[in-house]
A and B are shown apart, each in its own frame.
Chain A
Amino acid sequence: AQKVTQAQTEISVVEKEDVTLDCVYETRDTTYYLFWYKQPPSGELVFLIRRNSFDEQNEISGRYSWNFQKSTSSFNFTITASQVVDSAVYFCALSAISGAGSYQLTFGKGTKLSVIP
């Protein structure tokens, strides 16, 4: 069985602060993919990033960066100089390939980020 844990249920930061959203995963599969999705107050879910299990290189996209560490089974998401528009619920997800060739997608329970002006 696989599992995704987002231990932070809610986080509040003041605008321009940096914030890190934690994601810890469990899987027995050697090939898997990790995702982050953003759900702003308007409700839609938006794909942010995908990382595969063989690529531990960190990624930066503007104010967003992602730190993937297989040694700690973590895929953390950092927002630098947060803005009010970053206020949203963020979901981490794990997709692992089973031996039968299918795959299972598991979402974490989400972290609600509130950026206070």
Chain B
Amino acid sequence: NAGVTQTPKFRVLKTGQSMTLLCAQDMNHEYMYWYRQDPGMGLRLIHYSVGEGTTAKGEVPDGYNVSRLKKQNFLLGLESAAPSQTSVYFCATQPYGTANSPLHFGNGTRLTVT
């Protein structure tokens, strides 16, 4: 049982390049999230999805796009990477969007933009 799998684990991009981060879950969870983690900033929500075909903006959505074409996958795209997007990105899932439900996290993707 893989849980939440993020690919790739590491990536280095040059400014202006594009890329897509993939989050795949095998737990049949409805809700999926993308967070970024920066030193001294904790975890900040980028985008989230409450179900297949839906997406919504979080706290820091600028510069990112997302898609949830299939329930088990949540993609995070950077169309034109900037050094400010250097971060560790985490995908997380929940069975449903209830306040008492803990998040299940992937192992993260470390992205460096030069």
Which chain A residues have a beta carbon within 8 Å of chain B's beta carbons? 9, 31-33, 35, 37, 42-47, 50, 52, 91, 95-97, 102-103, 105, 107-110
Contact = CB atoms under 8 A, between A and B. Distances in A.
Given A31-B99, A44-B106, A47-B104, 9 more contacts: A32-B99, A44-B107, A45-B92, A45-B103, A52-B100, A95-B99, A107-B42, A107-B43, A109-B40
A93 B31 CA distance: 18
Interface of B: 40-43, 45, 88, 90, 92, 97-100, 102-108
Contacts of A47: 102-104
Given A44-B105, A44-B106, A95 B42 contact: no
A96 B99 contact: yes
Contact of B102 (A43, A44, A50): A50
Contacts of B97: 102-103
Contact of A95 (B40, B88, B100, B107): B100
Given A44-B105, A44-B107, A44-B108, A91 B100 contact: no
A103 B97 CA distance: 8
A105 B59 CA distance: 11
B40 A91 contact: no
A14 to B, nearest CB: 25
Given A45-B90, A108-B42, A50 B100 contact: yes
12 contacts: A37-B102, A37-B105, A42-B107, A43-B107, A44-B106, A45-B92, A47-B103, A47-B104, A91-B43, A96-B99, A107-B42, A109-B41
B102 A97 contact: no
Contact of A97 (B88, B90, B99, B105): B99
